[in-house]
Amino acid sequence: MIKLDYKNDKPLHEQITQGIKELIICGAMAKDEQLPSVRDLSVSLTVNPNTVQRAYKTLETEGFIYSVRGRGNYVSDIPSADRKTIDTLYDEFSERVRELIFFGEDREKILLVLNKIFDEMEDAK
Partner DNA sequence: GTGGTCTAGACCACG
Partner DNA sequence: GTGGTCTAGACCACC
Footprint of its own copies on this chain (CB under 8 A)?
6-7, 9, 11, 21-22, 24-26, 61, 66-69, 71, 79-82, 85-86, 89-90, 92-105, 107, 110-111, 113-114, 117-118, 121
Cα–chain center distance at 78 = 15
Judged by CB under 7 A, which of 20, 24, 51, 75 binds DNA?
Answer: 51
Report the site for DNA in 27-46 (rule: CB under 7 A): 35, 37-40
- Percentages helix, strand, coil for the chain, rounded to the nearest 5? 60, 5, 35
**Quick check: 21 binds DNA (CB under 7 A)?**
no
**Quick check: 23 binds DNA (CB under 7 A)?**
no
Cα dihedral sign, 50-23-100-8? positive
Cβ neighbors of 122 (< 8 A, separation 6 or more) are none
